[in-house]
Chains A and B, each alone.
Chain A
Amino acid sequence: MNKPLTMWEYADLNGVTRRDFLKFAGWIAAAAGLEASAIGSVVHAMDTKPRLPVVWFHGQECTCCSESFIRSSHPIVSDIVLDKISLDYTETLMAAAGHQAEEALHNTMKKFKGEYLLLMEGSIPIDDDGVYCCIGGRTMLDIVQEAAADAKAVIAWGSCASNGCVQAAKPNPTGAKPLHEVISGKPIINVPGCPPIAEVMAGTIVHLLAFDRIPQLDGLGRPKAFYSRRVHDTCYRRPNYDAGLFVESFDDENARRGYCLYKMGCRGPVTYNACGAIRWNNGVSFPIQSGHGCIGCSEANFWDNGPFYQHLASFPGFGIETTADKIGVVVGVGAAAGIAAHAISTNIRKRKLIQEEIKSSTESDAKGGA
């Protein structure tokens, strides 16, 4: 077997000039939000590293994470897969099947012991000896525990692997568990969302490649770069909330003006994700921009925190500076308090309008609406 090429050697073979290579390294640093002074370390990292061996597992999932991943626009996925990593096992894309597929997996686990990156898409069912998800006659639990033992680091893709997602919703018929509940002793990066945004997935991998270390994580193991702000705090409709301008019914006059979707059940105020900042599919839109409230798909237990169209009973009135670490997981109770609390904590100019809004909102709540 040839010695794996470093990223620079690889680029050089492909006819990339050193000058362009340095520009690319600068771009990676910029994409990861680094200061200009860090570009040197990016260049050094890419000069000396072979492509990172990666294995990608599928447990109880719908493959939306894989689909999201291939939507990445920067970098584009063919460049990631051909030039930046070596994706040695992925049931979605790999040419091999059956025992040849398993052989590819075991070759990587053996040859790159302690060096490969393990990506987990999907939850892992543990009830009834794990029979609810088997591959090649083995349980997912068995497979992932074996592979995780010798992995360098582990990424839990999506809400399934990060928090259990839909199959873990009540009554969780198969005992579906997120990755961090079934393996231990390895750094795990949780990248929740159903699915996560493509560029967030690619960005997490780029971070590992460029800096050879896991990104800064919050208390729930999520990269701070993408999960430190509430959707509410990065939402372009936020000024409507602050001004008390709300959609009262889908396709009403207020909806056609793009007012705030809080009363339609929007979970933006309790959801940490980058949808408002990065947006989806190369920045085209995100759920709120397209008229539907956020359903909170990156938060643990969001399926059981519904119904989706019932607006949040309340949430603590914390300011835009507060991060997930300080607040933790937020679940609200007690109807009208929500808007009132938020109104107090926010610097609002249109106080009168908001007072009226609270009044009418309280009245409609009392009637059991929303």
Chain B
Amino acid sequence: MRDLPWPARVYLVALIGAVAGLVGWSAVAPGGSAVAGKLDVLLVLMLLFLVCESMPTLLTVEHFAVSVSFSAALAAVVLIGPEGAALVGLTAVLSVRPGLPLIKRVFNGAQFAICGYAAGFVYVWLGGAIGVPEVHEFDDLIGPYVGATAVFVPLNILLTLTMVRLATRVRPVEMPLRGLAQFLLSYFGYGTFGLLVAGLWATIQSISAVLVLVPLFVARWAFGQYHAQQRSYDATIAALCQAVETKDYYTRGHCTRVSLASGMIAEEVGMGVERMRAIRYAGMLHDVGKLGVPTKVLQKDGPLTEEEFAAIQLHPMRGLEIVQGIDFLDEAFAGIMHHHERHDGKGYPMGLAGDEIPEFARIIAVADAFDSMTSVRSYRGARPVSVAVEELRKGAGTQFDPVMVAAFVRALEREPWQPPRRVDLPPPDAAETPTKDHDDPTMPIQVVTGQ
């Protein structure tokens, strides 16, 4: 409580006061007795609410976590009435979700209670009958129930966002419209669980809650498995890509940083979640084909012969060959294949120009060159970010897509770049020191021709 800024404290106290007022008023009002007669129902719903509230989030959309607990409060609206819904919502105080401090639980309890009461009020106002619905009454239930959900969900979001804003003093994160739509949709979808519980109460009482919960728990389990696998997958792909780089002391960590920078650009140009994920993987994997190029060619001092240059030009194709069996978006493959194309058509392997170059490739090209310039190379030190950005600007329109360069510059202003801090220098006995990097735009590859 002490850590909270005073507006947040005032807000919290006001909420708690409102809840206390509600409880006090319903104790003296005639509605209070309605709750007393249905203690068993109330208890079951409170338990249901608590179970849902205590299990970590079911679905995370962008920055929001959806918990299905509110469907129990909505069921209480139908079965017991506004006062019952408020009491059910209040149980959030007792939540045992790990990592949730008392102050948050108190806030949750208060806001759920208010939402529950408001939803119940709307339900009654729309003519919904309170009490265990008779089997033939179900159709009359739907309209008022939808109304109650339509009040509960936005009110819940509003109260929570206000608190977040007051407590952290940051502007609430801007949410993409599609994310918001998805979020609201899943929220309303979960609302139907309450309807199911209420509608089935006449037939099998509290068992209905169990039957609704089982698929949800299974879903929760599967989501947990999915997230664990996802994390594990990301770690594995990063480790394997780094293994490809271990031989060259100077390019270590290149793949991870290109992946990061590509993701930053992609976010800036407004890509969706799926494509963002795909481009991160593409950035990670863009150079795996480099292993197919003999090390002595990659690091050769002086101009390359045409055959050697042809070998270098082949590495995007080799990379594509390796990753082809993976079920990525096709765009990711295109990104790996064409990440050395140039805006003016002088790149390789196909010599595509301008818009012919796939979007992913245009992004990776910028990220790739940028990381190469800001990293230490044996033949030069790391360039500062500002110099590298200047180089990118210089190359915009010839080597790079100006749109992507501009997007990257904007992204860099928002979140500063962390260049690789330190390079483990090769052991002194290492015979060859590389004298070039095929990704470095300031050191164009020279090819001996006409022999």
Q: Do A and B come from one complex?
A: no
Binding site for A on B (CB under 8 A): none
